[in-house]
Each structure stands twice: as C-alpha cells, then as structure tokens.
C-alpha cells in the first residue's frame, strides 16, 4: 500500500528539479496558443520518464499513466501552460527573457507542479491501479479558452475520466496552505465591445454636434443600474469598463467613442438576461440622444462549480497530507477560469495553492507585473496532487 510518507519522500527528491522547471518556464513565457517551446519542454520531460502522450489543441499535451494493478478507474489532472502580455517588473535572475510576456498568473507553477506529480505517479505505478490523464492545456487566458477546444477534440474521452482536478496559485494564501470551496466558486465572464457613434465637431459649438462622449457617459452610468436594480441582490454580479477611447482633443468632439468591459456573474439565466438588458439600454440611450450604438458581446467562460462530494473527499485528503490547520475555506471568487468548461461536463474540483509570503514579497496579485511566488509552495504542490490522485483512485 502506498503511504503518504512515500509520496512526501519522492516530492522531496524532485523538489529542486521542479523549482528548476518553474524557473525555466518563467524565463521563457509564451502567449496563449503560441506555447511551442513550452509544449516541447513538457514532451521532453514526459519522454525522459517514459510517459506516453499525444498532442491536442495544437500546443496542448495529454499524457497517460496506467497503474500496473487492475482497475478501470480514470481520473484527470490539469495544468495550464500559457503566459500573459505583461512586461515583468521583477529583477529576479529567472525573470522573463521575452519582453512584454510574463507568467503573471502562475501557469509556470501549474505546469511544473503537474510534471512533478507525473514523475511521482509514474515512479509508483507498479503499486496502484487505475489511469491518470495529465492535461497540459494551452490558451487559458484568452477566448475561446483552450479547455473548450480540448474538450471538443476529445480530451475527456478514450479513456473517459470520472472527474478532473486542478490547482491554481493564490498569493492571498500563505505558501504551505491550500484552499477549497464546494459548489459554485468562480464567475462566468463575457467581454463587452461597445462603439458609440455621433457627429464630431468643434467643442465650442456643441449645438452643431452629436456628442458621443456625453452619450457614452450616460451609457456607462445607466448600465450600472442593471446590476443594482435588475439583479437579485443575493446573486453576485460585476460590470466593469476598463477601456474608454474618445480620440478627440480639448476642443474637438470625436465622431465616435469605443469602450471595452467585462460582465461576470454566477447564474446562466441571469447572465443571458443581463446581456439582453445591457444591449437594449445602451442602444436606446444612444438613439434617444441622436446617436447610435453597436453593442458587441463576446460570450466567454461559464461559471465554475466544484462538485460537492468530489470536493469534500479531495479536501479531506489535503487535510490528511498537510494537516487540518493548512487547509482553508474559500469564498466566491469573481474572477473567471476556463477550467469551468470541464466542470460543466464532468465532476470537477479546482482548489487554490497558497504562494504568498510577505517577507519574500510574493503577495502581489496575479496579473501584476511584480507577481511572483514563494517557491516553497512547490514542496507541496507536486506531492499533494499525486496523493489526491492516488486516494481518489482508491489506493
């Protein structure tokens, strides 16, 4: 019977190598669906360890480890591999060598951790039964999301896993701890692209113009009423516009204004209704003020739900591996993750890996140019995932 101590020992022996993996990936980040070197790196490690794999979604890699003992159980472990278009501000020796591209969301940790778990599981395969799919997924950061593409290409088939498990870094949690939430956990996300058209002209002659800047201002304020007055107050909803471009001047009213934003919530019916209301309101306001509005909505990721029984058992295994004091409760998180696609079609558990350490300066939020992790988190990220996998397989 495989013991916790065996896994902890193996995790310790590979720790320095996994840190090296993480630093290599951090130094060589690649944008979504362009992760060619990253994919080659993953394939090289799997080949060294004798783990068979196939390519999927162009740069994705799916490995397969079969235990030697008889069992028809199949589970999947997922790590994402892409980076973000951010100029890194850290001066660490492993800082990004690809200017303007950075692993600012911890996907280098996810990839190296899954490789570490793969090493452990492969070392122990003579002692357990069941099959483990290793999903190294591209393109988490941009629509349509690599998860949706891999699902379409059959990543959850042949063999079909009974469930999928993923982990994600969280700098708000101290390294050495993990967090869980059962049920609905993360929000859906939709991208809003709005063009408000009017009639430009001289700022000193507003009576001759149809001011799209003023129309846009009314639209932005009015759309917030959909969240505050149409949404059930018990249902979290977020509407934010982070980009507004009115390319005029102090005395020039432009012909049009462009703005971009995001809408997030935790209910599919309300999600659809809110988007209908936003489009109707924006177009109506623009028309009533003499202009027009093109309200384009890019449908994004669904909400993420952690299946209750799977999450409860996974949490219990984490408590066994780390100690109850190192396993925390999580609140709803209004960020989005394309892991949600998996959770919509199979049982799923998505938990948080603490990477924060105030003394080491690793408390910056993800997507921040100073984001970094306390690499001591890698001491548990590999062994914990392997332990969870084996316990879920009944070993």
Distance, in Å, from the CA atom of 123 to the CA atom of 10, rounded to the nearest integer, reads 9
**Among 253, 270, 298, which residue terminates a domain?**
298
| Residue 332 backbone dihedrals phi, psi, to 5 degrees | -60, 140
> What mean pLDDT is predicted for residues 294-304?
97
A 10 A CB-CB count for 130 gives 23
Q: Are 294 and 374 found together in one domain?
A: no
> Are the C-beta atoms of residues 185 and 97 closer than 8 Å to each other?
no
Average pLDDT along the chain = 97
How far, CA to CA in Å, does 179 sit from each of 83, 290, 374? 23, 52, 16
Q: Are 80 and 115 found together in one domain?
A: yes
Please report how many Cα atoms fall inside a 13 Å half-sphere around the Cα of residue 363, on the Cβ side: 8
Please determine, for residue 195, whether its predicted confidence score (pLDDT) is greater than 80.
yes
How far, CA to CA in Å, does 16 sit from each of 67, 113, 375, 377? 26, 12, 10, 12
pLDDT tens track for 40-83: 999 999 999 999 999 999 999 999 999 999 999 999 999 999 99
> Are the C-beta atoms of residues 263 and 189 closer than 8 Å to each other?
yes
pLDDT tens track for 88-129: 999 999 999 999 999 999 999 999 999 999 999 999 999 999
**Among 278, 298, 318, which residue terminates a domain?**
298
pLDDT band at 239 (very low <50, low <70, confident <90, very high): very high
pLDDT band at 168 (very low <50, low <70, confident <90, very high): very high
Q: What is the pLDDT of residue 1?
A: 84
> Are the C-beta atoms of residues 38 and 57 closer than 8 Å to each other?
no
Catalytic residue, chosen from 88, 140, 190, 376, is 140
Q: Are 113 and 253 found together in one domain?
A: no
The domain in which residue 245 lies consists of 190-298
Alpha helices for 124-240 (secondary structure H): 146-152, 212-229
Q: What is the pLDDT of residue 42?
A: 98
Q: Are 156 and 34 found together in one domain?
A: yes
The residues near 301 (Cβ < 8 Å, ≥ 6 apart) are 143, 145, 188, 189, 336, 337, 338, 340, 341
**Among 248, 282, 298, which residue terminates a domain?**
298
Q: Are 93 and 50 found together in one domain?
A: yes
Q: Are 338 and 361 found together in one domain?
A: yes
Cis before 252 (ω within 30): no
Q: Kindly state the DSSP code that residue 272 receives in the 8-state scheme.
A: H
Q: Are 200 and 247 found together in one domain?
A: yes
**Percent of the chain, pLDDT > 70?**
100
Q: Are 259 and 308 found together in one domain?
A: no
Q: What is the pTM of this model?
A: 0.94
Please determine, for residue 29, whether its predicted confidence score (pLDDT) is greater than 90.
yes
> Are the C-beta atoms of residues 338 and 167 closer than 8 Å to each other?
no
**Percent of the chain, pLDDT > 90?**
99
Q: Are 328 and 179 found together in one domain?
A: yes
pLDDT tens track for 240-268: 999 999 999 999 999 999 999 999 999 99
Q: What is the pLDDT of residue 83?
A: 98
pLDDT band at 302 (very low <50, low <70, confident <90, very high): very high
Establish whether 157 is a catalytic residue: no
Token pair, residue 171, equals 């700098």
Q: Are 275 and 359 found together in one domain?
A: no
Catalytic residue, chosen from 30, 35, 82, 211, is 82
Where residue 206 sits, what CATH number does that domain have?
3.30.70.360
Q: Are 28 and 132 found together in one domain?
A: yes
Q: Are 164 and 201 found together in one domain?
A: no
The residues near 382 (Cβ < 8 Å, ≥ 6 apart) are 11, 14, 15, 18, 113, 116, 117, 119, 120
Q: What is the pLDDT of residue 395?
A: 75
Establish whether 82 is a catalytic residue: yes
Complete DSSP assignment for 27-91: HS--BTT--HHHHHHHHHHHHHTT--EEEETTTEEEEEEE-SEEEEEEEEEEEE--BBS------
Q: Give the chain's domain count.
A: 2
Distance, in Å, from the CA atom of 77 to the CA atom of 136, rounded to the nearest integer, reads 9
Where residue 101 sits, what CATH number does that domain have?
3.40.630.10
């Amino acid at each position: 019977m495989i013991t916790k101590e065996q896994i902890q020992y193996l995790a310790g022996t590979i720790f320095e190598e996994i840190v090296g993996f993480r630093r290599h990936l951090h130094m060589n980040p690649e944008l979504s669906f362009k992760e060619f070197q990253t994919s080659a790196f993953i394939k090289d490690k799997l080949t060294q360890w004798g783990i068979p794999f196939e390519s999927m979604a162009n740069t994705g890699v799916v490995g397969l480890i079969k235990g030697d003992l008889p069992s028809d159980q199949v589970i999947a472990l997922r790590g994402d591999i892409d980076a973000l278009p951010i100029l890194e501000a850290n001066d660490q020796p492993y800082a990004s060598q690809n200017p303007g591209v950075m692993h600012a969301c911890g996907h280098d940790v996810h990839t190296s951790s899954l490789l570490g778990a793969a090493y452990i599981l492969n070392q122990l395969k003579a002692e357990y039964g069941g099959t483990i799919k290793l999903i190294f997924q591209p393109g988490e950061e941009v629509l349509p999301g690599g998860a949706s593409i891999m699902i379409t290409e059959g990543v959850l088939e042949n063999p079909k896993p009974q469930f999928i498990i993923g982990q994600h870094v969280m700098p708000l949690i101290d390294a050495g701890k993990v967090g869980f939430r059962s049920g609905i956990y993360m929000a859906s996300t939709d991208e809003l692209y709005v063009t408000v058209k009017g009639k430009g002209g001289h700022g000193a002659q507003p009576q001759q113009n149809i001011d799209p800047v003023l129309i846009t201002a009314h639209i932005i304020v009015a759309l917030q009423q959909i969240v505050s007055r149409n949404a059930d107050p018990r249902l979290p909803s977020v509407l934010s516009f982070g980009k507004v471009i009115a390319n005029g001047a102090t005395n020039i009213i432009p012909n049009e204004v462009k703005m971009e934003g995001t809408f997030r919530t935790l209910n599919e019916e309300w999600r659809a209704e809110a988007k209908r209301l936003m489009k109707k309101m924006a177009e109506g306001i623009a028309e009533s003020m003499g202009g027009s509005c093109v309200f384009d909505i890019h449908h994004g990721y669904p909400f993420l739900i952690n299946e209750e029984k799977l999450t409860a058992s996974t949490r219990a295994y984490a408590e066994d591996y780390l100690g109850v004091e190192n396993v925390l409760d999580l609140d709803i998180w209004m960020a989005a993750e394309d892991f949600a696609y998996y959770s919509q079609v199979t049982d799923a558990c998505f938990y948080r890996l603490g990477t924060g350490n105030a003394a080491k300066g690793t408390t910056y939020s993800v997507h921040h140019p100073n984001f970094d992790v306390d690499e001591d988190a890698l001491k548990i990220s590999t062994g914990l995932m392997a332990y969870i996998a084996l316990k879920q397989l009944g070993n």
